[in-house]
């Protein structure tokens, strides 16, 4: 892969159609068929596509919103990704910008790659911003090894809604100052490796119980409230010179003169709020245009792409109608706007693309850093370490509840609970809970029978509870009588090991809940 020619030459040499093509970022799927790969190669070549965003497969969460398709595990996905990037680069007339969502590492999209903690765990860390820097740095290193230039993160949404179905654990928390502080550290770590970032989802997707993959969320707050809270981290990162801002699919009437238009196609929000009022001069990228929040409202091919560009997006992410979108922009757009967007995108491309092809280095080693993160984030949400020590010395019985792939029916779950109840012989119970899902839908996939069992234990026994997952699960649990509640946040190896050390009194809990949980905060 060669470097892009300097902007001044590109400005003169590229046709208007080529310049428009550079604004499109269709999806690429790592586990695609040969037929689909060839179709994308043809699209890249004929439409002068400027960038790609990689996803695991067409059955993954980013496309399979209703969850009806099975995601097939492929231990070779990383090797496929690297080979595919090289192949698609060869199909492009001009070097492609390669992007991916790697908020907690390549593992967000790719099997057998390094996984770092979710943002909510990082949000529990007090100070120690150097650890956030290291996370950003390590993830960026892994991106470089793969051939990726652009990590579409971090999330800087302030999560202040426990029912949020899509942000939650992806946010650093509910405090605007800490969200901004941690995001800045993460971004600087990423930038230290020459990898691009994109803060998201402007103007803030945290305070909603609607998933924009399915419907258009409503943010019914005043402009003043948004500027004082939700927009605060965005402004801080803009002031730091962040590369790009991703626009979410959100209805924010206070910013659109009462209209319920999606922020992703709103001139008032992108050109007015983000550009004019907040002073952002970098690249604006849309959230995925395949998401139902907007896609279902524009059945005419190319119309949504045109509206997104007209509103002020420079990069049209997950555009499904590239050819029609290019034609619509060429037909309707002002040439000056095309040139302005092209210049921003091309200069970003100049900044990011390295002269060498690929990278022969190894992926990052997660062990040491994850151990530090586990120790820094572990949170004693209720009780004291002295009480845990006394509990341990009295004697206790361990009960573990975690995902069981073989447990499906109500009958099987009931039999499992009966077996657990029959084993309990102590008044002191060490309860280890790993919620099956990190998202809150359907009570994190914890069955009613299991919840009843947990709450019965909480009411009738002396319980020390360790939660290896999203701490919002505690809103489902009666914790008033608990001896202690400890949030581990992850079920990764380093986090489980550190939790064990904590229970045995060998390490302290240094973290603090980054979100409000009933009965424990």
How many whole angstroms separate alpha carbon 2 and alpha carbon 354?
8
Between β-strands 462-467 and 484-487, what pairing exists: parallel, antiparallel or unpaired?
A: parallel
Q: Is 213 a catalytic residue?
A: yes
How many whole angstroms separate alpha carbon 238 and alpha carbon 247?
14
- What was the pLDDT predicted at 355? 42
Mean pLDDT in each 10-residue stretch from start to end of the chain (521 residues)?
86 97 97 97 98 93 75 92 97 97 97 97 97 98 96 96 91 98 98 97 94 92 97 98 98 96 98 98 97 93 98 98 98 96 97 65 95 98 98 96 66 84 94 95 93 96 97 96 97 98 98 93 67
**What letter would DSSP give residue 288?**
P
For residue 466, give the nearest of 500, 419, 493 by alpha carbon: 500
How many whole angstroms separate alpha carbon 185 and alpha carbon 194?
15
Q: Which two tokens stand for residue 67?
A: 């969850």
Q: Are 162 and 63 in contact (CB under 8 A)?
A: no
**What letter would DSSP give residue 70?**
P
Name the pTM for this structure.
Answer: 0.96
* Domains of the chain, CATH where assigned: 7-366 (3.20.20.300), 378-503 (no CATH)
- What was the pLDDT predicted at 259? 95
Q: Which two tokens stand for residue 200?
A: 């998201």
For residue 426, give the nearest of 462, 455, 381 by alpha carbon: 462
How many whole angstroms separate alpha carbon 432 and alpha carbon 413?
17
Q: Which two tokens stand for residue 277?
A: 């009022």
Residue 251 three-state SS: strand
Non-local (6+) Cβ contacts of 431 within 8 A are 399, 400, 401, 454, 457, 463, 464, 465, 466
Find the catalytic residue in 213, 243, 249, 314. 213
- What was the pLDDT predicted at 354? 62
Non-local (6+) Cβ contacts of 202 within 8 A are 234, 245, 246, 247, 248, 263, 269, 274
Q: Is 287 a catalytic residue?
A: yes
Non-local (6+) Cβ contacts of 385 within 8 A are 502, 505, 508, 509
Q: Which helix (H) or strand (E) holds 441?
A: helix 441-444
- What was the pLDDT predicted at 64? 72
Find the catalytic residue in 249, 287, 314, 502. 287
**What letter would DSSP give residue 429?**
E
């Amino acid at each position: 892969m060669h470097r892009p020619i300097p902007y001044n030459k590109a400005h003169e040499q590229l046709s208007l159609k080529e310049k428009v093509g550079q604004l499109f970022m269709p999806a690429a799927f790592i586990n695609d068929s040969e037929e689909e790969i060839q179709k994308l190669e043809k699209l890249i070549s004929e439409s002068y596509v400027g960038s790609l965003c990689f996803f695991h497969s067409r059955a993954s969460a980013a496309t399979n919103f209703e969850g009806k398709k099975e995601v097939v595990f492929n231990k070779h996905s990383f090797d496929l990704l690297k080979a595919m990037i090289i192949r698609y680069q060869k199909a492009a007339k001009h070097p492609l910008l390669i992007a991916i969502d790697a908020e907690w590492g390549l593992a967000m999209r790719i099997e057998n790659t390094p996984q770092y903690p979710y943002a909510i765990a990082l949000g529990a860390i007090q100070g120690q911003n150097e650890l956030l820097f290291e996370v950003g740095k390590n993830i960026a290193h892994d991106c470089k090894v793969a051939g990726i230039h652009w990590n579409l993160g971090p999330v800087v949404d302030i999560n202040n809604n426990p029912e949020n179905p899509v942000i939650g654990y992806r946010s650093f928390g509910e405090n605007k100052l800490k969200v901004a502080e941690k995001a800045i550290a993460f971004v600087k770590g990423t930038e230290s490796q020459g990898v691009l970032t994109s803060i998201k989802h402007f103007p803030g997707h945290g305070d909603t119980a609607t998933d924009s993959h399915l419907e258009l969320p409503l943010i019914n707050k005043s402009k003043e409230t948004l500027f004082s809270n939700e927009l605060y981290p965005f402004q801080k990162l803009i002031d730091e010179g962040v590369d790009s801002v991703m626009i979410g699919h959100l209805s924010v009437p206070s910013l659109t003169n009462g209209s319920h238009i999606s922020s992703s196609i709103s001139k008032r929000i992108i050109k007015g709020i983000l550009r004019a009022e907040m002073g952002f001069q970098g690249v604006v990228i849309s959230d995925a245009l395949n998401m139902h929040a907007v896609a279902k409202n524009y059945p005419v091919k190319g119309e949504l792409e045109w509206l997104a560009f007209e509103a002020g997006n420079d990069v049209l992410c997950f555009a499904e109608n590239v050819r029609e979108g290019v034609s619509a922009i060429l037909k309707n757009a002002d040439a000056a706007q095309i040139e302005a967007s092209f210049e921003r995108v091309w200069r970003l491309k100049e900044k990011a693309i390295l002269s060498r092809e690929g990278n022969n280095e190894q992926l990052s080693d997660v062990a040491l850093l994850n151990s530090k993160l586990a120790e820094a984030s572990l949170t004693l949400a209720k009780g004291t370490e002295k009480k845990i020590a006394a509990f341990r010395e009295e004697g206790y019985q361990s009960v573990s509840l975690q995902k069981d792939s073989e447990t499906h029916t109500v009958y099987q779950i009931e039999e499992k609970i009966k077996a657990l109840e029959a084993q309990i012989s102590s008044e002191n119970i060490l309860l280890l809970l790993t919620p099956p899902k990190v998202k809150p839908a359907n009570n994190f996939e914890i069955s009613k029978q299991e919840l009843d069992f947990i709450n019965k234990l909480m009411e009738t026994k002396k319980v020390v509870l360790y939660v290896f997952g999203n701490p919002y699960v505690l809103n489902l649990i009666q914790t008033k009588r608990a001896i202690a509640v400890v949030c581990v946040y992850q079920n990764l190896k380093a986090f489980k090991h550190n939790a064990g050390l904590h229970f045995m009194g060998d390490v302290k809990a240094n973290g603090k809940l980054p979100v409000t949980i009933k009965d424990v905060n």
